[in-house]
């Protein structure tokens, strides 16, 4: 049973009204999962500010029946990863665009479009769609994920059976000022298989995305995502991962701009000797309007000798807000757990703020877990040292900001992809000097 939020009539009414305003796909084989999700959503209700997990982030704009306007800004840099060998899938305002996408053929990978696959019965996806999301509702309710499962109109179902020869790149193009996209992807990495998933693009005026990833025994999954550009966009995203024996799950997110971004990662480590890392680098400049970025992470260890790392860094200026809520839960059976969590912010002025809630809950006795959270400004001594060697102040600041972010970027295994991300960071910092 899902942990109940404070139940009250207003919440029930608001939730019912929101559901009534949605166009709910019936779904083919996903139908039962969608119906269950709707039940879950009604039971927990949409979030309100006084809920424990929403006290730092106001869910009002995510709850609203209609999104607030968010114009799509013209591109000022080439598309990220465009020069890398990859299979590219394009969604515009949350709708798959087959014209703009590559052929969905990639050796070792089976790709179906959710909107079409629903008519068939894809048994492996039936065991996944809404399943990890439902598991992730305990012990913390995640109403927008349940809403997504019930209402998602598009997405992809990906089954990885071998080592994919190149990364899969999903580009989320944003077009309409009021686009409201609900996208749901499922990925099953079969035993010993491996995939790198890249996700980029501003997506929509309002974007609700769920990614369910099941990494079976010995499988490897790398995820690198960049959310960006459009200043007024709002997004609530969830990654639900289940990590099996000796499997590897690694996810890195770069977020620049955006009025509101809430990224939840819910990771359940279920097989021995598995590794799961989640990392994020967020850069916010309140000069362009509101910037509010929230990373909410929950890692559950339920197997022996597993390693988890959470590395989240935020660079904030001009009234930007960063939030980190991260938890490591070590269940009684999860002996020899190695858990690590760090959340840090670099505030470039006095107007910006970082709100952090790090949590550890440990029920096994032979574990190694550590967590830390810091907030600080640019180190003046280091800045002077660099300048005294002739490095101009803004270049020196950029070096120090990049060095602050280095531990998060180090979580990207592929050096070329990491270099692309660093180049994006440098571009962003160069445009926002002073």
Partner 1 sequence: MLEIKNLHVELEEEGKPILKGVNLTVEAGKVHAIMGPNGSGKSTLSYVLSGRDGYAVTEGGATLDGEELLEMEPEERAAAGLFLAFQYPVEIPGVGNMTFLRTAVNAQRKARGEEELSAGEFLKAVREKAKTLKIDAEMLKRPVNVGFSGGEKKRNEILQMAMLEPRMCILDETDSGLDVDAMKLVAEGVNALRDPSRAFLVITHYQRLLDHIKPDVVHIMADGRIVKTGGPELALEVEKNGYADIVAELA
Rank residues 298 and 404 by Cβ distance to partner 1 and give the closer one: 404
Q: How far is the CB of 349 from partner 1 (least distance, A)?
A: 17
CA 352 from centroid of its chain's CA atoms? 22
Distances (CA, A) of 103 to 54, 100, 130, 160, 427: 41, 10, 27, 16, 31
Q: Say whether the peptide bond before residue 139 is cis (omega within 30 degrees of 0).
A: yes
Identify the DSSP state of 154: B
Q: Six-digit token pair at 288?
A: 């362009």
Three-state DSSP state, 241: strand
Q: Which position among 406, 419, 423, 430 is part of the footprint of partner 1 (CB under 8 A)? A: 406
Q: How far is the CB of 8 from partner 1 (least distance, A)?
A: 48
Rank residues 183 and 396 by Cβ distance to partner 1 and give the closer one: 396
Using CB under 8 A as the binding rule, the residues of this chain from 354 to 393 that contact partner 1 are: 379-382, 384-393
Q: How far is the CB of 378 from partner 1 (least distance, A)?
A: 12
Q: Which position among 400, 413, 414, 432 is part of the footprint of partner 1 (CB under 8 A)? A: 400
Number of other CB atoms surrounding residue 400 within 10 Å: 16
Alpha-carbon distance 361 to 331, whole Å? 8
Q: Which x/- pattern, by CB under 8 A, does the window 147-186 give for partner 1?
A: ----------------------------------------
Q: How far is the CB of 321 from partner 1 (least distance, A)?
A: 24
Rank residues 112 and 397 by Cβ distance to partner 1 and give the closer one: 397
Using the structure block, give the residue that is written with the tokens 């749901």: 184
φ, ψ dihedrals at 92, nearest 5°: -115, 125
358's CB contacts (< 8 A; 6+ apart) are 324, 326, 327, 341, 343, 371, 372, 373
Enumerate the β-bridge partners of residue 329. Answer: 300, 361
Helix (H) or strand (E) run with residue 427 in it: helix 415-431
Q: Which position among 36, 58, 217, 395 is part of the footprint of partner 1 (CB under 8 A)? A: 395
Rank residues 6 and 403 by Cβ distance to partner 1 and give the closer one: 403
Q: How far is the CB of 393 from partner 1 (least distance, A)?
A: 7
Rank residues 364 and 402 by Cβ distance to partner 1 and give the closer one: 402
Q: Which position among 402, 413, 414, 422 is part of the footprint of partner 1 (CB under 8 A)? A: 402
Q: Which position among 19, 399, 418, 422 is part of the footprint of partner 1 (CB under 8 A)? A: 399
Q: Which position among 407, 418, 422, 432 is part of the footprint of partner 1 (CB under 8 A)? A: 407
> Should residue 252 be labelled a site residue for partner 1 when binding is judged by CB under 8 A?
no
Q: How far is the CB of 293 from partner 1 (least distance, A)?
A: 21
Strands 95-96 and 87-92: antiparallel
Rank residues 338 and 407 by Cβ distance to partner 1 and give the closer one: 407
Task: Give the helix ranges, DSSP H, for 252-392.
Answer: 380-388
Q: How many of the chain's residues bind partner 1 (CB under 8 A)?
A: 23
Rank residues 74 and 388 by Cβ distance to partner 1 and give the closer one: 388
Q: How far is the CB of 351 from partner 1 (least distance, A)?
A: 21
Rank residues 175 and 403 by Cβ distance to partner 1 and give the closer one: 403
Rank residues 363 and 384 by Cβ distance to partner 1 and give the closer one: 384
Using CB under 8 A as the binding rule, the residues of this chain from 278 to 317 that contact partner 1 are: none
Rank residues 271 and 280 by Cβ distance to partner 1 and give the closer one: 280
Q: Six-digit token pair at 145?
A: 């994920």
Alpha-carbon distance 239 to 329, whole Å? 17
Q: How far is the CB of 399 from partner 1 (least distance, A)?
A: 5
CA 141 from centroid of its chain's CA atoms? 17
Q: How far is the CB of 217 from partner 1 (least distance, A)?
A: 36
CB 245 within 8 A of CB 269: no
Identify the DSSP state of 50: T
Q: How far is the CB of 394 from partner 1 (least distance, A)?
A: 10
395's CB contacts (< 8 A; 6+ apart) are none
CB 318 within 8 A of CB 351: yes
Distances (CA, A) of 136 to 73, 132, 144: 34, 6, 12
Enumerate the β-bridge partners of residue 224. Answer: 198, 252
Task: Give me the residues that bind partner 1 (CB under 8 A), please.
Answer: 379-382, 384-393, 395-396, 399-400, 402-404, 406-407
């Amino acid at each position: 049973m899902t942990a109940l939020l404070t139940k009250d009539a207003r919440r029930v009414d608001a939730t019912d009204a929101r559901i009534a305003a949605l166009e709910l796909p019936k779904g083919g084989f996903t139908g039962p999962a969608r119906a269950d999700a709707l039940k879950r959503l009604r039971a927990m209700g949409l979030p309100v500010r006084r809920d424990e997990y929403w006290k730092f982030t106001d869910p009002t704009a995510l709850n609203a029946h209609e999104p607030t306007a968010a114009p799509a800004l013209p591109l000022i840099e080439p598309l990220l990863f465009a020069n890398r060998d990859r299979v590219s899938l394009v969604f515009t305002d949350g709708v798959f665009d087959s014209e703009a996408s590559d052929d969905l053929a990639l050796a070792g990978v089976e790709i179906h479009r959710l909107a079409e696959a629903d008519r068939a019965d894809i048994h492996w996806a039936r065991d996944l769609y809404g399943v990890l999301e439902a598991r992730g509702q305990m012990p913390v309710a995640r109403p927008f994920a349940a809403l997504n499962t019930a209402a998602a109109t598009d997405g992809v179902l990906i089954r990885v059976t071998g080592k994919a020869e190149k990364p899969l790149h999903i580009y989320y193009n944003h077009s309409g000022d009021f686009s409201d996209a609900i996208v749901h992807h499922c990925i099953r990495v079969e035993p010993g298989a491996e995939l790198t998933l890249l996700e980029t693009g501003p997506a929509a005026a309002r974007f609700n995305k769920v990614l369910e990833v099941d990494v079976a025994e010995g499988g490897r999954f790398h995820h690198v995502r960049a959310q960006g550009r459009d200043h007024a966009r709002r997004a609530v995203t969830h990654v639900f991962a289940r990590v099996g024996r000796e499997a590897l799950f690694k996810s890195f997110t770069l977020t620049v701009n955006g009025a509101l971004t809430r990224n939840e990662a819910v990771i359940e480590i279920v097989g021995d000797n598995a590794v799961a890392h989640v990392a994020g680098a967020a850069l916010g400049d309140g000069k362009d309007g509101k910037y509010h970025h929230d990373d909410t992470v929950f890692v559950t260890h339920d197997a022996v000798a597993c390693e988890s790392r959470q590395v989240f860094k935020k660079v904030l200026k001009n009234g930007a807000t960063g939030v980190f809520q991260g938890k490591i839960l070590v269940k009684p059976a999860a002996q020899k757990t190695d858990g690590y969590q760090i959340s840090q912010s670099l505030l470039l002025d006095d107007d910006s703020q970082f709100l952090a809630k790090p949590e550890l809950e440990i029920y096994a006795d032979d574990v190694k877990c550590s967590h830390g959270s810091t907030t600080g400004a640019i180190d003046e001594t280091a800045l002077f040292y660099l300048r005294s060697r002739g490095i101009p102040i803004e270049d020196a600041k950029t070096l120090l900001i990049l060095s602050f972010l280095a531990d998060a970027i180090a979580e990207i295994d592929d050096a070329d992809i990491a270099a692309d991300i660093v180049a994006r960071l440098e571009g962003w910092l160069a445009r926002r000097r002073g």
